[in-house]
Amino acid sequence: MSRSRIVVFGATGSIGRSTLDVIARHPERFEAFALTAHAQVGRLFELCEQFRPRYAVMSREADADELRARLTQAGCPTEVLQGAQALVELAEHSEVDTVMAAIVGAAGLLPTLAAAQAGKRVLLANKEALVLSGQLFMNAVAQNGARLLPIDSEHNAVFQSLPHTFGRELGASGVRRIMLTASGGPFRTAPLDSLDAVTPEQACAHPNWVMGRKISVDSATMMNKGLEVIEAHWLFGAPAELIDVVIHPQSVIHSMVEYVDGSVIAQLGNPDMRTPIAHALAYPERIDAGVRSLDLFEIAKLTFEPADLVRFPCLSLAYQALRAGGAAAAVLNAANEEAVTAFLDGRLGFMQIADVIAATLERAGDSPVESVEAILETDGRARAIASSEILSRQP
Ligand code: NAD
Ligand code: MG
């Protein structure tokens, strides 16, 4: 069996490192062909020494120069490239078969889309790219014979709970609805009036998952679940009314599919991203992911509650954007990225994140999203509006 050659976009991140952990367990199956990072030279250097990929990419020239010098000195043959265009070229590289899309935010759009257009096997963690480009991305997958496999634990669980023959026709498969589970994040039971004073450190302390800072804040506001509702819409061809959100604080059931005969199929496991990553890397086979067995006696209880939309206005905003269609999801995503950055920088209060997004959605209006240029233009315009909304709220 020839080894699968993999590009890991965002190799230094939480998903990137979990991916490399699984790859390292199966050197006979997988080869890390290229590793990329934004600015973490030290971390990417260590990963290059360990995995000795053909290529490494840094966003900026100075970081690329530093990485190149360190690798040369260490006798590592990895070739260092620089910039966004290098990411696109690697996504399209003829020797690459699999692309792990694990850059955070809209920055991942172009390389992820390029992988779909090149007909690769695309392992999608970068949900923002799909939220932004929705139809365009799904068309690129269909028209170029790409294989799209969801890494987001909920969508991977839904994928595993759907029939193997599923072709994005829920009705034809007898699906009644999709139930996305959500932990509810760190503030599920905190007094409502304490949320204004939440700090970035509190918001990033997720009860069940260790993740990058942006997605951790998204989990605390539940915008993460909102983005996931939109992601499920595109991945599974599901209208908003067939996607329900269920708060399940233990994060053991990763999501469920209900069928018309009353059957509910769920995927369970310990909350460890190496499970969906290994599933997608080896699909349709199964490989060891290094994840410990699920101890049901230790867990003892699985509980469920509805999502409180007063506490989590971001979830309503995402449903609203999905129902509005057009550019609304792209605007929602851009405003959220700006607001989360401002919150992490101490320029915006936690509960103001939703206010900024709502105001941006109202002001942005609709705009075309039929081409990648139009999407990037919409994204830029929404960010400018969101920035002005953030400024106007500064303490
Ligand atoms: P992270 O912040 O830990 O890592 C992000 C990676 O992207 C890093 O390698 C960073 O260097 C790179 N990056 C950041 N900005 C970049 C830019 N402008 N250009 C190029 N590279 C850039 O994030 P994460 O938690 O690993 O999440 C990555 C993606 O996976 C996100 O879209 C997130 O929503 C999704 N996801 C993460 C988890 C999780 O458990 N962490 C679960 C589900 C989905
Ligand atoms: Mg998720």
Percent of the chain with pLDDT over 70: 100
Long-range CB pairs of 159-166 (<8 Å, 24+ gap) are: 159/235, 160/267, 160/279, 161/255, 161/256, 161/257, 161/265, 161/266, 161/267, 162/236, 162/257, 164/284, 166/236
Which H, E and C letters describe 62-104, residue by residue?
Answer: HHHHHHHHHHHHCCCCCEEEECHHHHHHHHHCCCCCEEEECCC
Q: Looking at the CA of 245, which ligand is closest?
A: 2
CB of 101 shorter than 6 A to ligand 1: no
- What ligand is nearest to the CA atom of residue 215? 1
How confident is the model over 368-393, as a mean pLDDT? 97
Q: Is the CB of 152 under 6 A from ligand 1?
A: yes
Find out whether the beta carbon of 38 lies less than 6 Å from any atom of ligand 1: yes
Residue identifier of the C-alpha nearest atom 15 of ligand 1:
38
Beta carbon of 63 within 6 Å of any ligand 1 atom: no
**Atom in ligand 1 nearest the alpha carbon of residue 216:** 25
As a residue count, the chain comes to 395
* Strands 253-259 and 98-101, sheet pairing: unpaired
Q: How far is the CA of 228 from the centre of ligand 2 (A)?
A: 7
Q: What is the mean pLDDT of the segment spanning 282-291?
A: 98
Which ligand has the minimum distance to the alpha carbon of residue 18? 1
Per-residue pLDDT, 209: 82
pLDDT tens digits for range 96-116: 999 999 999 999 999 999 999
What average pLDDT does the structure give for the chain? 97
Answer whether 125 contacts ligand 1 (Cβ < 6 A).
yes
Taking only the tens place, the pLDDT of each residue in 111-139 is 999 999 999 999 999 999 999 999 999 99
Q: Which has the closest alpha carbon to 87: 62, 65, 72, 109? A: 109
pLDDT digit string (tens) for 320-369?
999 999 999 999 999 999 999 999 999 999 999 999 999 999 999 999 99
pLDDT of residue 167: 85
DSSP state of 197: G
Question: Has residue 258 got a pLDDT over 90?
Answer: yes
Q: What spacing in Å lies between the alpha carbon of 86 and ligand 1's midpoint? A: 18
Rounded distance from Cα 310 to ligand 2 centre (Å): 21
Record the pTM.
0.98
- pLDDT at position 126 is 98
Contacts of 210 (CB under 8 A, 6+ apart): 14
DSSP element (H, E) containing 1: none
Which element (helix H / strand E) includes 203?
Answer: helix 200-203
Q: Could you tell me if the CB of 78 is within 6 A of ligand 1?
A: no
- The CB of 112 under 6 Å from ligand 1? The reply is no
Q: Which ligand is nearest to the CA of 222?
A: 2
The 10s digit of each residue's pLDDT in 243-256 is: 999 999 999 999 99
Q: Give residue-wise pLDDT tens across range 82-91.
A: 999 999 999 9
Mean pLDDT for 199-204 is 97
CB of 127 closer than 6 A to ligand 1?
yes
Among 40, 61, 81, 104, name the best residue to mutate to test ligand 1's pocket (greatest count of ligand atoms within 8 A of Cβ). 104
Q: How far is the CA of 296 from the centre of ligand 1 (A)?
A: 31
Q: Is residue 390 scored above 80 in pLDDT?
A: yes
Q: Is the pLDDT of residue 308 over 80?
A: yes
Q: Would the CB of 17 count as within 6 Å of ligand 1?
A: no
CA 317 to chain centre: 18
Residue 168, pLDDT score: 84
Counting from 1 in the atom list of ligand 1, the atom nearest the Cα of 39 is 11
Tell me which ligand sits closest to the C-alpha of residue 13.
1
Asked whether residue 40 carries a pLDDT value surpassing 90, the answer given is: yes
pLDDT at 250: 97
Please give the pLDDT value at position 2.
Answer: 86
Q: Is 154 in the pocket of ligand 1 (CB under 6 A)?
A: no
Number of H helices, E strands in the chain: 16, 11
pLDDT value at position 198? 97
How close are the terminal C-alpha atoms of the chain, in Å?
Answer: 60
- Across the range 155-184, mean pLDDT stands at 96
Residue nearest to ligand 1 atom 18, measured at CA: 107
pLDDT score, position 206: 87
- Segment 10-27 shows an average pLDDT of 98
Structural domains of the chain ordered from first start: 4-150 (3.40.50.720), 153-271+291-310 (no CATH), 325-395 (1.10.1740.10)
Instruction: Using a CB cutoff of 5 Å, list residues around ligand 2, an ion.
Output: 152-154
Is residue 207 scored above 90 in pLDDT? no
